[in-house]
Structure 1
Amino acid sequence: MKSTINPQLMKKSTPISIATWNFPKATIKAGEMLEKGASALDAVEQGVMVEEARLKNTTVGKGGRPDREGNVTLDACIMSSKGDAGAVAYLKNNTHAVSVARKVMEETPHVMLVGQGADKFAQEQGFDKEELLTEDSKEAYLKWLENKEYKPLINIENHDTIGMLCMDKKGDISGACTSSGLSYKMNGRVGDSPIVGSGLFVDNAIGGAVATGMGEAIMKSVGSFLIVELMRQGKSPQDACETALMRIVKNNVNYKEFQVAFIALNKAGEVGSYCIQKGFSYVKYKNGRNSETKSKYFIEKQ
């Protein structure tokens, strides 16, 4: 089914924020900012920062689950409606990876900084150096060391990202994606979240997409970029998500063992979502109302 975007809808856009998983406070924060006239870029940054700072979210920001050597490392990227992008990977000492990524976008000639270089840049930009490993995360890590079993659980360890898309009153779209990655990953592992085109892609003339789940599968398909290109060809956000997801299923014989999910937004404010396994949902804020939607899926949870 093709998307029929009414030009009039694009002229008078209704602000909207959508995010992977049920993170209602994040979309409320972004949505309320949009209603007050904030840009999509400011709203999407502030929206995902809510989850970066929430200690009970062990897959994003401070309090995230560490890697196999006990390090909490963060990945994030952000894209503006102008097509600019910034990203950080293997960031160790700053809760708000998305804000550091925005600084990379706005203050450097680069798109991505990693590791010690990213941490040094953050401190030069005035970000406080922080310890990201909380007592709860440390306790969970010490328990994991007893068996050292690495087997990501579908919709749990794969529940590793908040990706958000916002459209403001001008009809401009921006996006952000931030994560602490898979629990007990190999030291140095970077997933799809900071990779422009994989974890996030925005083309303001068309729309945007974000991903969550097994980053390796998403990176190999450049999933978010693919969805936007499919929308460019006339597909609705829903059809684009389904087509991109099925490409991952086709190319991974072990697809039943992991989760991948996409959400997408086009210029008319139409939303789509699709995932491999049952259990993924997304949250949307529009017209002063926040709502959670269970995503359509390819197979039942195994």
Structure 2
Amino acid sequence: MNRRKFIRNTALSGLGLTVGGSVLAKGLEELPVSTHSSEFKGPLVIATWNVPNATAKAWEVLEKGGSALDAVEKGCNVEEEDPKNSSVGYGGLPDREGIVTLDACIMDHNGNYGSVVFLQNIVHAISVARKVMEETPHVLMAGKGAEDFAVAQGFKRTNLLTESSKKAWEEWKVTSEYKPIINIENHDTIGMLAIDKDGNLAGGCTTSGLAYKMHGRVGDSPIIGSGLFLDNEVGAATATGLGEEVLKTVGSFLIVELMRHGRTPQQACEEAVNRIMKKQIHRKDFQVGFIALNTKGEVGAYSVHGGFSYQIYQNGENKNVSPDFLSK
């Protein structure tokens, strides 16, 4: 399908979901509901942005026969503990009060999900999210409660504000202008998706959020269906960029539902971006990007602006790819 025809098709009415049925709105109703099985056996791992060390770690887990869930957690841990990554974990840029707050979530092939929001003083937020999923009756914990839970689970408190991030924040305070820079301040996430040798999916997101955000702000990354969603019979998707726009369209859930109804991962990512920009036709000051994969091992990616990239490790090759984008 050529791009012009695809964009025309996306101008049809929006996705409508009814209780009990996932009934798609006009424009997709002619597509049969997919009955995917795990046709592709991994390993395969894909992540937002240029994160070769993270995908290499995830691949190491997968190549040894480990689960997709373990691979995603360990891969994301690499970026969380890297002080040079100013949008994730230790060394993340703080909010406007000078406090680093973290959001993260993780999801397994059975649809189990764990999340932490507004977490402080703990480096590996995605690992805490996994503990929420596996060790509590809850799916989401926040703030001081999440921090206390993490400590009770054996995590150590750490000052997440590095000297480099503190210096950047102090320089920002001179003008205190809140204007996120596309692909820098507002990419804010590593999202990772994986398929293991059994054909099972897992996904995770971890972030320190928008630089110099209002204290207490939470974006899309830890919210199921927005920053991350997967269905082991269909595929998985994750988002990066300005979380407020992803939240308003439940972007990752949308992509998985589109794939369920016959769209390829690429087509689904493109439609999700177009869905956002139909509501924001006069705005060009923010970035959103999506990556997705299906159970066939096909991948897709698309963003509002250029500059977004994703890392993919497959068949022993770890490479960075710059996908197509909407705003030419």
TM-score, normalised with respect to structure 1: 0.96
Partner residue, 2:293: 265
1:177 aligns with 2:205: yes
Gaps of 5+ in 1: none
| 1:32 aligned residue | 60
Q: Which digits, 9 at most, give the CA deviation of each residue in 1:93-130, with x for residues without a partner?
A: 10100000000000111110001111011011110011
1:13 aligns with 2:41: yes
Q: 1:7, CA displacement in angstroms?
A: 7.7
- Which residue of 119, 124, 127 maps to 1:96? 124
Q: Which has the higher strand share?
A: 1
Deviation string 1:34-53 (CA, Å, 9 cap, x unpaired) is 11100000000000110001
Say if 2:56 and 2:313, in contact at 8 Å, map to a contact too.
yes
Distance 1:199 1:270 in 2: 20
Judge conservation of contact 2:39–2:295 (CA < 8 Å) in 1: no
Partner of 1:69: 97
Q: Contact 1:6–1:268 at 8 Å: present in 2 too?
A: no
Q: Which residue of 1 aligns with 2:23?
A: none
Kindly provide the CA deviation profile for residues 58-96 of structure 1, in whole angstroms up to 9, marking residues without a partner as x: 000000000010100000000000100000000001010
In 2, distance between residues paired with 1:149 and 1:111? 35
Please give the per-residue CA displacement for 1:229-276, whole angstroms capped at 9, x wherever unaligned: 000001000000001110000012443110000000100110000100
Aligned to 2:161: 133
Partner Cα separation in structure 2 for residue 255 and residue 286 of structure 1 = 36
Q: In 2, are the aligned partners of 1:32 and 1:288 still within 8 Å (CA)? A: no
8 Å contact from structure 1 (residues 166, 175) kept in 2:
yes
Aligned residue number for residue 246 of structure 1 = 274
Give structure 2 stretches of 5+ with no counterpart: 2-30
Report if aligned partners of 2:36, 2:234 keep a CA contact under 8 Å in 1. Answer: no
The amino acid of 1:103's aligned partner reads K
Contact 2:195 2:202 in 1 (8 A): yes
How far apart are the structure 2 equivalents of 1:152 and 1:249?
18
One-letter identity of the residue aligned with 2:143: G
Distance in structure 2 (CA, Å) of the matches to 1:12 and 1:234: 17
Larger Rg: 2
User: Could you tell me how far apart the structure 1 residues matched to 2:305 and 2:280 are?
Assistant: 14
Q: Residue 244 of structure 2 aligns to a residue in which SS?
A: helix
Select which of 83, 86, 89 maps to 2:111. Answer: 83
1:201-216 to 2 correspondences below 5 Å? 201-216=229-244
CA distance, structure 2, for counterparts of residue 86 and residue 253 of structure 1: 34
Deviates more, 1:224-233 or 1:286-295: 286-295
- Counterpart Cα distance in 2 of 1:74 and 1:110: 18
User: How far apart, in 2, do the equivalents of 1:197 and 1:266 lie?
Assistant: 16
Instruction: Find the aligned partners of 2:207 and 2:258 in 1 and give their Cα distance.
Output: 26
1:54–1:185 Cα change, 3 Å? same
Question: How many Å apart are 1:165 and its aligned residue?
Answer: 0.1
How big is each residue's C-alpha offset from its partner over 1:138-163, in whole Å with a ceiling of 9 and x where there is no partner? 11111111110110000111121000
Q: Distance in 2 between matches of 1:14 and 1:175?
A: 14
Residue in structure 2 matched with residue 113 of structure 1 by the alignment: 141
Contact (CA 8 Å) 1:162, 1:177: kept in 2 or not? yes
Number of residue pairs the alignment of both structures matches: 298
Q: Any runs of at least 4 consecutive aligned residues in structure 1 with deviations exceeding 3 A, and if so which?
A: 5-8
2:189 counterpart residue number: 161
Name the amino acid aligned to 2:74: Q
Q: 1:232 aligns with which of 260, 284, 294?
A: 260
The C-alpha deviation readout for 1:163-208, integer Å capped at 9, x for no partner, is 0000000000000000000000000000000000000001111010
Task: Give the match's secondary structure for 2:312.
Answer: strand
Q: 1:122 to 1:160 in 2, by over 3 A?
A: same
